[in-house]
Amino acid sequence: MKTSNARTLFRILAVVICLSMLMAACAAPAATQPASDAPAATAAPADTSVPSAQGEVEATSADAGEITILYIDNPTWWSEQAQRFTEATGIKVNWEGVPFDKLHDKMFTAFASGDSPWDIIHVRDDWVSEFGSRGFLMPLDDLVTPEMKSQSPERAWKNLSVDGQQYGVPRYFWLWQFYYNQDILSAGGYTQAPTTWDEVAQMAEALTTDTNGDGKVDRWGYCEPWGENFASNPFIIHLRAAGGDVFDDAGNPIFNSEAGVKALTWMVDMAKTDNYCPSAFEMATTGALTELFLQGSIAMIPDTPQVYGMAKDPTQSKLTGGEVAAALVPGDVSKSGTYAETGGLAIPANAKNPEGAMKFIQFVTSFEEEKRMAMEPGNIPAMTAALEDTEVQAAHPNYAFVEEQMQYPFGTISNPRAQEVNGAIARNVIDALHGNLTPKEALDKAYQEVVDIMNQ
């Protein structure tokens, strides 16, 4: 009797299960439910795809998850962009913004301790060399598509790689260009920007003057930043113009070459005159240089892309913006040469959500976001199509020279010990500028310090 009852119960349960499965199969899938049928606060739209030049960024409420990002805190545009990403994909972003000058050390400390909480970080050329070589970053070769690579200059990708391994995706260029005050040059009888550093020196002498007759110079022909840990940047620009570079293709230091001595000699000769701004040794950022230039007392400077935007801001500038013009950085043996950071995004090796991180990278490097970045904060987009966009070009006259400028050497110091290498070069360059060492002595001393750093 018990057996018979059990069989009956089993048959009833089987029928119930089958009917349940049939009803489920006939029901409409939740994913196809119109977005308007669900409350906006509790359901993602039916189609959360984000069109991108690199493919489609897709997410649903079921698989969105969250990512943690460490990035520059200023401007707030970066965090606002992350909010747009969340709105478009449903992926929550935990945002941590810190001042740029604190960023490297914060990352290094976390990586070295094995306690990195981030899925995405900001990187540049030299940081990729340092972090990638130490195993702190996730290789991206299997995640970066040929289509993605085709959208930015090959050199940009190379700058964010180590030994052929890709560790970063280019986002923007922080490119040093040559800026000048057209009104000052015109008043001095010049109709175009200098094309060589010898011409810069000649024009600087002619344009340096006492404008109010009080016996003191109050307008200078030229200025570049020679502050602590920063004088190496203009030195590298002059070095590349002279046909040299910091390292050869094998990674050996070569900056104390004949080209290096010629480059530093130009700087030392300028330092012996009154033709450069007297606050040069106090400048450890390009921002300080820009602020001085926008007071209208400097004729020519090498500087980064913030110049045009700040020139149009009456709270920061005595100029209207119309006086400011840009040109190729002057040359010597080489027609030109400059210094630039390739600003990129990288995924730490221990990232918890690399898939979500890659979706963020695809979103922010899409054409729409690259163009928006160029139009709003004013960073030079790494994507060629965004750089060449007619609206972008019209808004930023200095962009007209970017592609030609990047035909010549432009990266940072590419070495796993780049921070220390930079410090050694800067210290000795400053000693030469103060007359404590000859250019040859300074560069030979810096060379030995760099060799010792690399051998540690």
Strands 220-222 and 298-303: parallel
User: Is the fold of 63-175+341-405 the same as that of 177-337+417-455?
Assistant: yes
Which of these, 398, 259, 264, 281, lies nearest to 340 by C-alpha position? 398
CA 246 – CA 252 distance, rounded (Å): 8
- Residue 56: the pLDDT is 46
Residue 299 and residue 204 in contact, taking contact as beta carbons nearer than 8 Å:
yes
According to CATH, what is the number of the domain 177-337+417-455?
3.40.190.10
The residues near 279 (Cβ < 8 Å, ≥ 6 apart) are 288, 292
Per-residue pLDDT of the chain (456 residues; tens, 9 = 90+): 433 444 333 343 343 333 343 333 333 333 332 333 333 333 333 333 333 434 445 444 345 799 999 999 999 999 999 999 999 999 999 999 999 989 999 999 999 999 999 999 999 999 999 999 999 999 999 999 999 999 999 999 999 999 999 999 999 999 999 999 999 999 999 999 999 999 999 999 999 999 999 999 999 999 999 999 999 999 999 999 999 999 998 999 999 999 999 999 999 999 999 999 999 999 999 999 999 999 999 999 999 999 988 898 899 999 988 899 999 999 999 999 999 999 999 999 999 999 999 999 999 999 999 999 999 999 999 999 999 999 999 999 999 999 999 999 999 998 999 999 999 999 999 999 999 999 999 999 999 999 999 999
Vertex 65, ends 64 and 67: CA angle to 5°?
115
Element (DSSP H or E) covering residue 122: strand 120-123
187-200 in b/e burial notation, b at 16+ Cβ within 10 A?
eeebeebbbebeeb
Encoded tokens for 140: 């991206």
C-alpha span between 402 and 436 (Å, rounded): 37
**Rounded Cα gap, residues 62 and 76, in angstroms:** 29
Distance separating alpha carbons of residues 172 and 369, to the nearest angstrom: 11
Q: What's residue 321's pLDDT?
A: 80
Q: Which residue has the tokens 């060799």?
A: 451
Domain segments of the chain: what residues? 63-175+341-405, 177-337+417-455
Q: Name, in order, each residue with C-beta under 8 angstroms of 346's C-beta and a sequence gap of 6 or more.
A: 120, 121, 123, 128, 131, 137, 138, 140, 160, 167, 168, 169
The span from the CA of 382 to the CA of 380, in Å, is: 7
pLDDT at 21: 37
Structure tokens at 183: 């009104």
CA distances from 183 to 278, 285, 296, 345 (A): 22, 25, 9, 40
Model pLDDT, residue 322: 87
Residue 16 burial class via C-beta count within 10 angstroms: exposed 0-12, middle 13-18, buried 19 and up: exposed
CATH 3.30.2290.10 holds for 63-175+341-405: no
pLDDT for residue 76: 95
Looking at residue 63, its pLDDT comes to 58
Closest CA to 364 of 61, 53, 103, 63: 53
Q: Check residue 21 and give left, alpha or beta (phi > 0: left; psi -120 to 50: alpha).
A: alpha
